[in-house]
Amino acid sequence: MSDPIIKIEGMNKWFGDFQVLKDIDLEVEKNKKIVVCGPSGSGKSTLIRCINRLEEHQKGTIIVDGTELTENTKNIEAIRAEVGMVFQQFNLFPHLSILDNCTLAPVWVKKMPKKDAEELAMKQLEQVQIADQAKKFPGQLSGGQQQRCAIARALCMEPKIMLFDEPTSALDPEMIKEVLDAMVNLAKAGMTMIVVTHEMGFAKEVADEVIFMDEGMIVEKAETKDFFANPKNDRTKLFLSQIL
Amino acid sequence: MNKLNFLRPDIENIKTYLYLGIFLIFISILDVSLNAFFNTNITSFLPNFISFLLPLILGTVGLHFIRIEFSGIKNLDLLNKNINTNAFNAVLTLLIIFAIIKSLPAFLSWFFIDATISGDTKEACTGTGACWTYIKIWLNRFIYGMYPNELQWRINISFIALIALAFVGLLPSEKIKKFLTLYYVVIYPVIAFILIYYLISGGAFGLVWVETGAWGGLSLTFIVSFFCLIFCFPVGMFLALGRRSDLPTVRYISVGFIEFWRGVPLITVLFMSSVMFPMFLPEDFFMDKLVRVIIAISLFEAAYVAEVIRGGLQALPRGQYDAAKSLGMGYWKMHIFVILPQALKLVIPGIANTFLALVKDTPLIFVVGLLEIVGMLNLAKTNPKWLGYAMEGYVFAAIIFWIICYAMSKYSYNLEIKYKTDR
Tell me, yes or no, if the pTM score tops 0.80.
yes
Q: Do B330 and A139 touch (CB under 8 A)?
A: no
pLDDT tens per residue across span B318-371: 999 999 999 999 999 999 999 999 999 999 999 999 999 999 999 998 888 888
A54, A94, A108: residue with CB nearest B333: A108
Cβ atoms B117, B132 nearer than 8 A: yes
Identify all chain B residues contacting A49, using CB atoms and an 8 Å cutoff.
322
Q: Do B338 and A54 touch (CB under 8 A)?
A: no
By percentage, how much of chain B surpasses pLDDT 90? 35
**Cα(A94)–Cα(A112) distance, rounded to whole angstroms?**
23
Q: Which of these, A98, A104, A204, A97, lies nearest to A148 by C-alpha position?
A: A98
Chain A nearest-CA distance from B330, in A, is 7
Identify all chain B residues contacting A153, using CB atoms and an 8 Å cutoff.
327
pLDDT for position B199: 80
Count H helices, E strands: chain A? Answer: 9, 10
Beta carbons within 8 Å of A2's beta carbon, 6+ residues apart: A29, A30
**Cα(B101)–Cα(A15) distance, rounded to whole angstroms?**
67
- pLDDT band (50, 70, 90) for residue B253: very high
Mean pLDDT across B208-229: 86
**Cα(B372)–Cα(B215) distance, rounded to whole angstroms?**
8
Three-class secondary structure assignment of chain B: CCCCCCCCCCHHHHHHHHHHHHHHHHHHHHHHHHHHHHCCCCCCCCCHHHHHHHHHHHHHHHHHHHCCCCCCCHHHHHHHHHHCCCHHHHHHHHHHHHHHHHHHHHHHHHHHHCCECCCCCHHHCCCCCCEHHHHHHHHHHHHHCCCCHHHHHHHHHHHHHHHHHHHHHHCCCHHHHCCHHHHHHHHHHHHHHHHHHHHHHCCCCCCCCCCHHHCEHHHHHHHHHHHHHHHHHHHHHHHHHHHCCCCHHHHHHHHHHHHHHHHCCHHHHHHHHHHCHHHHCCCCCCCCHHHHHHHHHHHHHHHHHHHHHHHHHHHCCHHHHHHHHHCCCCHHHHHHHHHHHHHHHHCHHHHHHHHHHHHHHHHHHHHHCCEEHHHHHHHHHCCHHHCCCHHHHHHHHHHHHHHHHHHHHHHHHHHHHHCCCCC
Cα–Cα distances in Å, from A144 out to A4, A57, A84, A100, A148? Answer: 32, 32, 18, 19, 6
From the CB of residue B317, how many other CB atoms can be counted at a distance below 10 Å?
Answer: 11
- Diameter over CA atoms, chain B: 97
Identify all chain A residues contacting B345, using CB atoms and an 8 Å cutoff.
95
B332 touches chain A (CB under 8 A): no
Q: Give the burial string for B156-169 (b: 16+ CB within 10 Å, else e).
A: eebbeebeeeeeee
B246 touches chain A (CB under 8 A): no
Pick the residue of B327, B342, B418, B419 with the most A CBs within 10 A to test the interface with A by mutation.
B327
The one-letter amino acid at B194 = I
The single-letter DSSP state of residue A14 is: E
pLDDT for position B25: 92
Chain B nearest-CA distance from A100, in A, is 11
Chain A nearest-CA distance from B170, in A, is 21
pLDDT for position B195: 84
**Cα(B60)–Cα(B89) distance, rounded to whole angstroms?**
9
Q: A with B: how many residue pairs have Cβ under 8 Å apart? A: 76
Of these ranges, B69-73, B199-203, B410-414, the one predicted with the greatest mean pLDDT is: B410-414
Pick the residue of B174, B326, B336, B418 with the most A CBs within 10 A to test the interface with A by mutation.
B326
- pLDDT band (50, 70, 90) for residue B422: low
Cβ atoms A137, A97 nearer than 8 A: yes
pLDDT for position B379: 85
pLDDT for position B15: 85
The one-letter amino acid at B333 = K
- pLDDT band (50, 70, 90) for residue B279: confident
Q: Do B327 and A91 touch (CB under 8 A)?
A: no
Cβ atoms A139, A170 nearer than 8 A: no
B330 touches chain A (CB under 8 A): yes
pLDDT tens per residue across span A1-31: 567 899 999 999 999 899 999 999 999 998 8
User: Comparing A137 with B196, which gets the higher pLDDT?
Assistant: A137
B419 touches chain A (CB under 8 A): yes
| Residue B250 burial (C-beta neighbours within 10 Å; 0-12, 13-18, 19+) | middle
Q: Which residues of A touch B (CB under 8 A)?
A: 49, 52, 54, 73, 77-78, 80-85, 87, 89, 91-95, 104-105, 108-110, 137-139, 150, 153-154, 157
User: Comparing B370 with B257, which gets the higher pLDDT?
Assistant: B257
pLDDT for position B35: 87
Of A133-137, B161-165, B247-251, the least confident: B161-165
B329, B330, B423: residue with CB nearest A139: B423
Chain B nearest-CA distance from A54, in A, is 7
A52, A105, A138: residue with CB nearest B422: A138
A85, A94, A137: residue with CB nearest B326: A85
Chain B nearest-CA distance from A154, in A, is 7
How does pLDDT run along chain A (244 residues), one tens digit per residue? 567 899 999 999 999 899 999 999 999 998 899 999 988 888 999 999 999 899 999 999 999 988 888 888 888 988 999 999 999 999 999 999 999 999 999 999 999 999 999 999 999 999 899 999 999 999 999 999 999 999 999 999 999 999 999 999 889 888 899 999 999 999 999 999 999 998 888 999 899 999 999 989 999 999 999 899 888 888 888 888 887 7
B174 touches chain A (CB under 8 A): no
**Cα(B423)–Cα(B415) distance, rounded to whole angstroms?**
15
Domains of chain B: 11-113 (no CATH), 132-147+210-418 (1.10.3720.10)
Mean pLDDT across B132-145: 83
Q: What value does the mean pLDDT of chain B take?
A: 86
Mean pLDDT across B382-405: 87
pLDDT for position B2: 59
- pLDDT band (50, 70, 90) for residue B212: confident
Q: Do B329 and A105 touch (CB under 8 A)?
A: yes
Identify all chain A residues contacting B329, using CB atoms and an 8 Å cutoff.
77, 105, 108-109
Q: Do B325 and A80 touch (CB under 8 A)?
A: yes
**Cα(B13)–Cα(B74) distance, rounded to whole angstroms?**
17
Beta carbons within 8 Å of B398's beta carbon, 6+ residues apart: none
pLDDT for position A2: 62
pLDDT tens per residue across span B3-54: 677 777 778 888 888 899 999 999 999 989 988 888 888 777 888 888 888 8
pLDDT for position B91: 92
* Residue A175 φ then ψ, to 5°: -95, -15
pLDDT for position B39: 82
**Cα(B18)–Cα(B273) distance, rounded to whole angstroms?**
67
Q: Do B323 and A91 touch (CB under 8 A)?
A: yes
Chain A nearest-CA distance from B244, in A, is 17
Q: From A105, which residue of chain B is nearest by alpha-carbon distance?
A: B327
Identify all chain A residues contacting B419, using CB atoms and an 8 Å cutoff.
95
Cβ atoms B76, B84 nearer than 8 A: no
Identify all chain A residues contacting B341, using CB atoms and an 8 Å cutoff.
95
Q: Do A104 and B327 touch (CB under 8 A)?
A: yes
pLDDT tens per residue across span B66-86: 888 787 888 888 888 888 888
- Diameter over CA atoms, chain A: 55
Cβ atoms A206, A223 nearer than 8 A: no
Query: Is residue B423's pLDDT more than 70?
Result: no
Angle, CA of B317, B322 and B326, to the nearest 5°: 155
Q: Do A80 and B333 touch (CB under 8 A)?
A: no
Q: What's CA B141's distance to the chain center, in Å?
A: 22
**Cα(B238)–Cα(B244) distance, rounded to whole angstroms?**
10
A93, A94, A109: residue with CB nearest B328: A109
| DSSP class per residue in A157-226 | T--SEEEEESTTTTS-HHHHHHHHHHHHHHHHTT-EEEEE-S-HHHHHHH-SEEEEEETTEEEEEEEHHH
Q: Do B326 and A80 touch (CB under 8 A)?
A: yes
A91, A92, A109: residue with CB nearest B333: A109
Chain B nearest-CA distance from A217, in A, is 24
The one-letter amino acid at B384 = P
pLDDT for position B162: 87
From the CB of residue B382, how many other CB atoms can be counted at a distance below 10 Å?
Answer: 10
pLDDT for position B140: 83
A78, A81, A137: residue with CB nearest B421: A137
Q: Which of these, B313, B394, B312, lies nearest to B352 by C-alpha position?
A: B312
> B245-254 contacts: CB < 8 A, separation 24 or more?
B254/B306
* Residue B55 φ then ψ, to 5°: -55, -40
